[in-house]
Amino acid sequence: MGKILTMHTSIFHLSFPVRDIESTKEFYVESLGCRIGRQSAVAIMLDFHGHQLVAQVTEDLGPPQKQIYPRHFGIVCQTEEEWTHVRDRAQKNQLDFFREPQRRFSGKPIEHLSFFLKDPSNNLLEFKYYLNATAIFGEQSFCQIGDTHERGTPKT
C-alpha cells in the first residue's frame, strides 16, 4: 500500500536491558544490520531502523517472557518488501524466532504480517507490515489489538 505518511520527524528512543555487549552486538549489528553509535563497557547505542536503542548491561534481566505480552518492541515496516527483507535476513542468520512469520487478522482492514524474534537477553522484538496503512493508528471500529487468548481471555 506504499509508504506510511507521517508528520512526525522525531526519533523514538528506547533503553532496554541486556546481559552483555558482545552478544548484543552480534544480534543487533551483525545479524539485524543495525549501526553502532556510541559504546562503553556497559552500554551500546544502536541505530535501529532510524530510531535510537540503548542497550544497558544489567545483572537482573528478570525472568524470560513465556508469551509476547506484556512487553515487546519492534518496527512497523513501511513496505511488504522491507518486511520480507528483514524476515529473510533473520532466517539466513538463523535468529531465534519466538513466533514464526504469519498473517494476522486476515481479510480485515487490520490485516498484517508479523513475526517475533528473541534476542540473546530474552528481549522480544516484533516486525510487522500492515496491508492497510490506516490500521497503524486508525481503524478504531476494530477493538482487536494483538492476541487476546495470550492474555488469559478467551480467543474470539
Smallest CA-to-CA distance from 71 within 62, 80, 59, 84 is with: 62
Question: Taking the domain 13-59+68-151, which CATH number applies?
Answer: 3.10.180.10
Span 56-80, mean pLDDT? 94
pTM: 0.86
Characterize 63-72 residue by residue with b for buried, 16 or more Cβ atoms within 10 angstroms of its Cβ, and e for exposed. eeeeebeeeb
Query: CA dist 62 to 58, 87, 90, 101, 144, Å?
Result: 10, 28, 25, 26, 29
Average pLDDT for the chain:
89
Q: Are the C-beta atoms of residues 82 and 65 closer than 8 Å to each other?
A: no
Q: What confidence score (pLDDT) does residue 140 get?
A: 64
Residues 6 or more apart whose CB falls under 8 angstroms from that of 128 comprise 74, 75, 76, 77, 83, 112, 113, 114
Helix, strand, or coil here: 92?
A: helix
- The predicted-structure confidence for 124-153, as pLDDT tens digits, reads as follows 999 999 999 989 888 766 666 666 555 444
- The predicted-structure confidence for 30-57, as pLDDT tens digits, reads as follows 999 999 999 999 999 999 999 999 999 9
**Residue ranges covered by each domain of the chain:** 13-59+68-151
